[in-house]
Homo-oligomer: A and B are copies of this chain.
Amino acid sequence: MSDPSAHSIPMPARPLANVDVVIFSVLDDALRVLLVRRPEAIGEPYPGRWALPGGFVDVERDRSLLDCALRKLSEKTGVLAPYLEQLGCWGDATRDPRGWSTTHVYFALIPGAEVVLQGGGGVADVAWLGVDSSARARRLAFDHAEIIDAALERLRGKVEYTSLPAFLVPEPFTLPQLQRMYEAVLGRRVDKSGFRTRMLAQDFLEPVGPIEGASKRPAMGFRLKDRSRATYFPRTFSPRG
């Protein structure tokens, strides 16, 4: 790390740099997204409005954008190792009244059972909101409604041909439980037999013995062979629509 003043070329004005996280989970068979309420302090934009968890990059504390996203996620949910991927960047002169602003958005999938909502850290409230109408009905801060739309589109699109919903259910899970995650995200029923064949053919699940008590007949419990990445299927779910 060098001292900027040692360079002869002047550095240009810099935009504000944020990181926001779209955290998805399935609760009560419904896909939900985590929102926090904006603080009411003087000078804060969108006071009291719902927003994605996030905030400025802390160049002293965060070694990278990913570090920053993991920090913001653990501050709000206590979850340390979720599925996390970069969604994209939004940046323009008008999205933040404080000036030219960029945000680097990550999207996370976490099992509903593992969540412990935590306030503090400059937010007055934390809550799960359904993605269908409630999130859109409330007026979100910044361009966060647009960002959530993009995250939803990415998630629903990828669920058609990846194992992403496996990150929405706590391990070990049964195939019927995993199927319910797919159905919650896709918003439609899928065939049981085809679902089983499809999942087992990809060889990304590892059986860990039957799970009892969850239903009448015990089902085989599975866990991911590799929690660090999703599996891609060679076809989408329903070509025939």
Q: Is A13 an interface residue, CB under 8 A from the partner?
A: yes
What residue in chain B is nearest A68 (Cβ atoms)? B91
Q: Is A146 an interface residue, CB under 8 A from the partner?
A: no
Q: Is A209 an interface residue, CB under 8 A from the partner?
A: no
> Nearest Cβ distance between residue A50 and chain B, in whole angstroms?
20
- A64's partner among B2, B8, B92, B97 (CB-CB below 8 A) is B92
Q: Is A100 an interface residue, CB under 8 A from the partner?
A: yes
Q: Which residues of B contact A60 (CB under 8 A)?
A: 13
> Nearest Cβ distance between residue A16 and chain B, in whole angstroms?
6
Contact between chains at A89 and B89 (CB < 8 Å)? yes
Within 8 A of B (CB), among A107-160: none
Q: Which residues of B contact A102 (CB under 8 A)?
A: 17, 57, 65, 102, 104
> Nearest Cβ distance between residue A153 and chain B, in whole angstroms?
12
Binds B, one of A167-175, A213-221, A233-241: A233-241
Main secondary structure on chain A at its contact with chain B? Answer: loop
Q: Is A189 an interface residue, CB under 8 A from the partner?
A: no
- A235's partner among B57, B88, B98, B234 (CB-CB below 8 A) is B234
Q: Which residues of B contact A43 (CB under 8 A)?
A: 6-9
Q: Is A188 an interface residue, CB under 8 A from the partner?
A: no
Contact with B along A1-22 (1 / 0, CB 8 A): 1101011110111111100000
> Nearest Cβ distance between residue A12 and chain B, in whole angstroms?
5
> Nearest Cβ distance between residue A27 and chain B, in whole angstroms?
29
> Nearest Cβ distance between residue A190 and chain B, in whole angstroms?
16
What residue in chain B is nearest A105 (Cβ atoms)? B89
Contact between chains at B44 and A64 (CB < 8 Å)? no
Contact with B along A90-106 (1 / 0, CB 8 A): 11111001111010100
Q: Which residues of B contact A6 (CB under 8 A)?
A: 43
**New A-B contacts (5) at CB < 8 Å, excluding given A2-B99, A65-B102, A88-B89:** A6-B43, A13-B60, A17-B102, A65-B89, A91-B104
